[in-house]
Amino acid sequence: MVWGEQLYAVVLKRRTVVGRTKSGNEKIKWIKGFRAVNQADENTAFIQKRLGAKLPIWIANDLVPSESFPENSNDDRPIQYGMPLWRDLFSPRQLLCHGTSVEVYANYWKLIVMQVF
């Protein structure tokens, strides 16, 4: 079974001037809000394409969890629902974001290590 996903809201922060300081500078507050999804927000095809290109590289470099979900777990629902690997517990959007973050961090770490040694 493959779970689908549907984007239903976009989180945003609005910069709002709430007054002035004694020195005359603007007092700023960031207010969190939500808005409805519009057609420009639909990027599922891009995510699938990008994930398809990056996932083999990430697996080869051990940047995403490729271990099997333990069968002796007290919760076998992931296996029942067709998610035998830890990475299967993430939606494509989540996996792309997490994998990209780990890749950036790993590249940064290599850069730091190369400068130290």
The model's pLDDT over 37-73, given as tens digits with 9 standing for 90+, comes to: 999 988 888 999 999 999 999 999 999 888 877 777 6
- DSSP string across 63-103: -S--SBPPTTSS--HHHHTT--BGGGGS-HHHHHHHHHHHH
pLDDT for 15-33, tens place per residue?
999 999 999 999 999 999 9
Q: Which residue has the higher pLDDT, 74 or 105?
A: 105
Contact 26, 51 (CB under 8 A): no
Tokens linked to 26: 């603007």
Q: Looking at the whole model, is its pTM more than 0.85?
A: no
